[in-house]
């Protein structure tokens, strides 16, 4: 009987240790939570988790990966929302949309507003990264989004057809996935080939060339920034801002290329520089 208290104490200790171990192994980090959010295409949750990961990252590599993924995501979301806005604008002009053109124009306005917010977010993020970029490769790991070459709901909208709330949200989600797949492929050096991009990301961690990263994101900024042209929002001052940010990005890309030349990237850089020069000259 004298040994029973010791036995009970030992049993309790083992139980507490088991519970503690179970709790520890079930815990996740924000960057892991973000990857899980990407896997389920919950991009809003992914942004929240990436914000946490940036603030609480245990090391520079994790923080850098979170920053890169967040920048790529908001860049893609800017493009996706611009696509949705343009779809509603095209649809509103169709004869079959005469009775509901008002709601279509409202949707266009809402999506353009969201696109602007994401674009400004993305550009600011790259501006914050510029001084820290070197030719040291960056590493990212993320589930590649489900990409489809078409978006049936978007086609309906462009044709002026009314869609249900579920169809509208489905179209928006697919546009987000498609845009994210394209930007991920571009920064990985796969161009706008999501099939090649999917192969790269499915194999595990992907090495991102900082020169490709800043050039491809800048190109996406110009594409999304086209919403400020006269055919879109007709906001020349904002269009000029986009081109100024991109030109400064390209100056950094030029320095990286001076240190590590690449003829194909240099040619792409010069094309984008000319585009910026033309746009800014036209503003004057």
Cα(260)–Cα(238) distance, integer angstroms:
33
> pLDDT by residue (tens digit) across 111-145?
999 999 999 999 999 999 999 999 999 999 999 99
> pLDDT by residue (tens digit) across 234-281?
999 999 999 999 999 999 999 999 999 999 999 999 999 999 999 999
Q: Nearest 10 degrees: CA dihedral of 184, 187, 192, 195?
A: -50
Instruction: Give the model's pLDDT for residue 282.
Output: 82
Beta carbons within 10 angstroms of residue 170's beta carbon: 16
Instruction: Give the model's pLDDT for residue 9.
Output: 44
Cα(51)–Cα(178) distance, integer angstroms:
23
Q: Cα 221 to chain center, whole Å?
A: 11
Quote helix, strand, coil % in the chain, to nearest 5: 75, 0, 20
Entry field: residues in the chain: 284
Burial class (CB in 10 A: 0-12, 13-18, 19+), 33: middle
Can you give the pTM of this predicted structure? 0.90
> pLDDT by residue (tens digit) across 81-120?
999 999 999 999 999 999 999 999 999 999 999 999 999 9
User: Please, are residues 246 and 221 in contact by the beta-carbon 8 Å criterion?
Assistant: yes
Q: Which residues have a Cβ under 8 Å from the Cβ of 18 and sit 6 or more positions away?
A: none
Considering only residues 81 and 28, tell me which one the structure prediction assigns the higher pLDDT.
81
Q: Cα 110 to chain center, whole Å?
A: 19
């Amino acid at each position: 009987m004298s040994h029973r208290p010791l036995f009970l104490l030992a049993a309790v200790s083992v139980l507490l240790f088991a519970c503690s171990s179970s709790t520890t192994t079930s815990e996740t980090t924000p960057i892991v939570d973000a990857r899980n959010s990407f896997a389920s295409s919950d991009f809003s949750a992914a942004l929240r988790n990436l914000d946490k990961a940036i603030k609480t990252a245990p090391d520079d590599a994790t923080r850098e990966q979170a920053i890169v993924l967040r920048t790529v995501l908001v860049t893609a979301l800017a493009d996706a929302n611009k696509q949705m806005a343009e779809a509603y604008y095209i649809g509103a002009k169709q004869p079959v949309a005469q009775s509901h053109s008002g709601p279509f124009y409202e949707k266009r306005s809402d999506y353009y507003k969201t696109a602007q917010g994401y674009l400004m977010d993305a550009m600011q993020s790259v501006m914050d990264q510029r001084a820290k970029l070197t030719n040291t490769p960056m590493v990212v790991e993320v589930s590649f989004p489900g990409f489809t070459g078409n978006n049936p709901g978007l086609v309906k909208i462009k044709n002026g057809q009314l869609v249900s709330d579920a169809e509208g949200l489905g179209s928006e989600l697919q546009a987000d996935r498609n845009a994210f797949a394209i930007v991920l492929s571009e920064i990985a050096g796969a161009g706008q080939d999501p099939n090649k991009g999917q192969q790269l990301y499915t194999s595990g961690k992907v090495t991102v060339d900082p020169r490709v990263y800043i050039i491809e994101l800048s190109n996406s900024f110009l594409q999304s920034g086209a919403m400020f042209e006269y055919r879109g929002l007709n906001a020349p001052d904002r269009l000029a801002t986009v081109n100024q940010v991109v030109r400064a990005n390209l100056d950094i890309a030029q320095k990286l290329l001076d240190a590590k030349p690449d003829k194909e990237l240099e040619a792409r850089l010069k094309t984008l520089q000319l585009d910026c020069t033309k746009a800014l000259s036209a503003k004057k």
